[in-house]
Structure 1
Amino acid sequence: MKLKLGILDQSPVTMGSTSAAALANSINLALWAEEAGFNSVMYSEHHGVEAYGSSSPELLAATVLSRTQRIKVGTAGIMMRNYSAYKIAEWTKFLTTLYPGRFILGLGKAPGGLKDAVMALNNHKPVVLSNLETKLEEIIRYLKEEKGEYEGLIAQPVNLQKLPEITWLGSGMTSAKEAARHGVGYSFAAFMNSEYGSENTDAYIADFEESLLHSTASLQVTVAVSVAENIEKARRNAYGMAYQFLQSRQLVSPEVVLPPEIVEQRILGSKDEEEFFTVLDRIIIETPQTIYPRLQQISEKYNTRDLLILCNMYSEEDRMNTFKNIILHNQLSH
């Protein structure tokens, strides 16, 4: 069975390179992904960190939409606590009007950065941890042009030909049930929490309520992947990505993607060694011959064909090789 594949692009910055180079890589990756047959490319949001070149997924999505014809492009996701529902709805309607049927609004509840970055985003005021589900409801009202808190207020442009897809990002049961309750898509971050993942995704599918945004449940699963000609190389190629994941887990600002030999120097024999290899083991590490069967297993586990692939590597050539092998063997399976 052919899988529905997308790319989660964090615009990774590598040691010795620049954020400008990372953004150029992101645009080149999207142009290639459209030609190669990927269904979508989604951009993440991070603030105040060296690791990732893009702080504005909506701007990167707009740039890529303007340079492509078919591929769906979106945010994965906009960190809602940093912005008003009204402003999110405005630029979502703007992109949906210009590129009907191609923009996906992915929304997340995480802060998108450490304390100082979040304070700066919120005008140096303490973040009001209001109910983000309520903000989702407000965004949906503006998109559907229903009456809301401000009587007569519209979000331009009005009269959309087609409502955008909305995807609620999460890794836990609460997010799964929220997505189901509001009739939006659910993107499950399996690379963050795979232990009880199928329980969350099963709940989303079982509890899904039909809406104007989605008539049926739309489940996507995001996995981190490394593919190389042999398992040892694939495993070493994933070291930089795993080290970033480890830093995020420890609430430390992630560094640029480091080469595997530097990660080894820092990890081996350190207090973080066991945790690092636990994180590494969550990454899908395969060869060209085994990657499709492994992705097929994940598809069957979560009962969805829709997989989003994350891959951050020190070598852009190795990163591209991972994506090339995934799409090639998915096409050969059909």
Structure 2
Amino acid sequence: MKLKLGILDQSPTIEKGSALQALKNSIDLAVFADEAGFHRVIYSEHHGVEAYGSASPEILSAVILSKTKRIKVGTGGIMMKNYSAYKIAEWAKMLGSLYPERFILGLGKAPGGLKDAVSALNNHRPVILSSQETKLEEIIQYIKEEKGIYDGLIAQPTHVAHLPEILWLGSGIQSATEAAKHGVGYSYADFMRNDQGLDSTETYLNKFDRNQYSPVPSLQVAVAVSVAEDLKSARYNAYGMAYQFLQARHIQAPEALLPSETIEQRILGTEDEEEFFKILDHIILGTPGNISEKLLEKAEEYNTYELLILCNMYRERDRVDTYKSIILAN
């Protein structure tokens, strides 16, 4: 089975680096991915966080679409609770019309930042914690130009020839059930690691309603990966990514990527050491010779042939080499 490989790009920043450089790296990576044969690249959304350079994946997607020729590009995902369904539908239809069959509208339910950032995004008003599934329904109504909350309201451009692909991001059974119910794609965040992985993906595939938005299910699994010439180097290069995952688990704003030796000094002998190495063990580590086999095993575990590869590393060349090794091996 040949895998359909995509990239989940968080536009990672490094210590003493800048968000602008992270964004330039994302552009360069996308141009490479387009030429190399990756199937898709999607961009995450983070606010008020030093670790990641992009707060507007819809804008970054537009830039990348204009600089590439064939690869699918999209958001992974828009943090819905911070925006109106109407506005999301408008720019999604615009990008889907300008780049037919290439734009992906990835949507997520997470806040996208810590408390102050979320408050600022919501104009200093309390965040309404209503069901985000209701907002998904409204977005679909605007995109498909169905009757919705406001009679006769249109979302421009109208009469689109191709509906944009919709991808519902999640890491649990509820999200999987919602994606299946509405007939949209589902992206499971394996790198976030919980005990509901297989249950979630099986729920999505078993309950998918082919009479809704799309007639065919689309299941992607996002995995964290590090590839180097030897496993020891692959493991060491992944320290920065594992440390950011650890900080996120503790509901801390992740720092910019740090050198592996700095993380070693911070972690060894502390109460976080055991948890850090458990997180590290969940990252797929490989060499150019065995990474294809390891990715295939992960895909078969989830009964899908589509993987999204997340790779954040202190040295950009190590990050790019990981993606090069993966696409060459596949």
Structure 2 residue identity aligned to 1:263: I
Aligned identity (percent) is 65
Q: Distance in 2 between matches of 1:95 and 1:246?
A: 35
- Kindly report which structure 2 residues correspond to 1:74-85, keeping only aligned pairs within 5 A, or say none: 74-85=74-85
> How many angstroms apart in 1 are the aligned matches of 2:97 and 2:305?
28
TM-score, with structure 1 as normaliser? 0.98
Q: Deviations over 1:223-278 (max 9, x none)?
A: 00000011110001000000000000000000000010000010001111111111
The 2-side partners of 1:213 and 1:72 are apart by 19
Correspondence for 2:207: 207
* Other-structure match for 2:58: 58
Equivalent residue pairs, number = 330
Q: Specify the alignment match of 2:17 in structure 1.
A: 17
- Could you list the runs of 4 or more consecutive aligned residues of structure 1 that deviate by over 2 angstroms after TM superposition? 193-196
Output aligned runs, 1:1-334, within 5 Å: 1-193=1-193, 195-211=195-211, 213-330=213-330
| Range that drifts further, 236-245 or 186-195 | 186-195
| Cα distance in 2 for residues equivalent to 1:211 and 1:125 | 38
Contact 1:184 1:211 (8 Å CA) reproduced: no
Distance 2:171 2:22 in 1: 27
Secondary structure of 2:5's counterpart equals: strand
* SS of equivalent residue, structure 1 residue 281: helix
1:115 and 1:325 map into 2 onto residues whose CA distance is 39
Q: Unaligned regions of 5+ residues in structure 2, if any?
A: none
Deviations for 1:128-166, whole angstroms, at most 9, x for unmatched residues? 001100000000000000111111100001011011110
Deviation at 1:17, TM superposition (A): 1.3
What whole-Å deviation, never above 9, does each CA across 1:98-123 have from its counterpart, x for those lacking one? 00100000000000000000000000
Shift of 1:127: 0.1
| Contact 1:229 1:288 survives alignment (8 Å) | yes
CA distance in 1 between counterparts of 2:109 and 2:176 reads 12
Q: Deviations over 1:280-301 (max 9, x none)?
A: 1111011111100000101111
Instruction: Measure the CA separation in 2 of the matches of 1:227 and 1:273.
Output: 23
Letter in 2 for 1:215: P
The gaps in structure 1 that reach 5 residues or longer are: none
- 2:78 & 2:13 partners in 1: Cα distance? 20
Q: Is the 8 A contact 1:42 1:73 kept in 2?
A: yes
CA RMSD for the aligned pairs? 0.8
* TM-score in terms of structure 2 length: 0.99
What amino acid is the match of 1:145?
A: E
User: Any idea what SS the aligned residue of 2:130 has?
Assistant: coil
| C-alpha separation in 1, matches of 2:114 and 2:194 | 24
For residues 245 and 168 of structure 2, what CA distance do their matches in structure 1 show?
21
Q: 1:16, CA displacement in angstroms?
A: 2.1
Return the letter of the residue paired with 1:20: L
C-alpha contact (below 8 Å) 2:11/2:26 kept by paired residues: yes
* Distance in 2 (alpha carbons) for counterparts of 1:301 and 1:158: 41
- Deviation by residue 1:20-48 (Cα, 9 ceiling, x = unmatched): 11000000000000000000100000000
| Secondary structure in structure 2 of the residue aligned to 1:191 | helix
The letter of the residue matching 1:55 is: A
- Separation (CA, whole Å) in 1 of partners of 2:197 and 2:249: 18
Asked whether the equivalents of residues 173 and 196 of structure 2 are also in contact (C-alpha less than 8 Å), the reply is no
SS at match of 2:236: helix
What's the secondary structure of 2:192's corresponding residue? coil
Asked if the contact 1:165–1:213 (Cα under 8 Å) also holds between the matched residues in 2, the reply is no
- Matches of 1:18 and 1:82 in 2, distance apart? 25
Distance 1:23 1:213 in 2: 32
Q: Distance in 2 between matches of 1:212 and 1:135?
A: 16
Quote how far apart the aligned CAs of 1:212 are: 5.2
Q: Which amino acid aligns with 1:112?
A: G
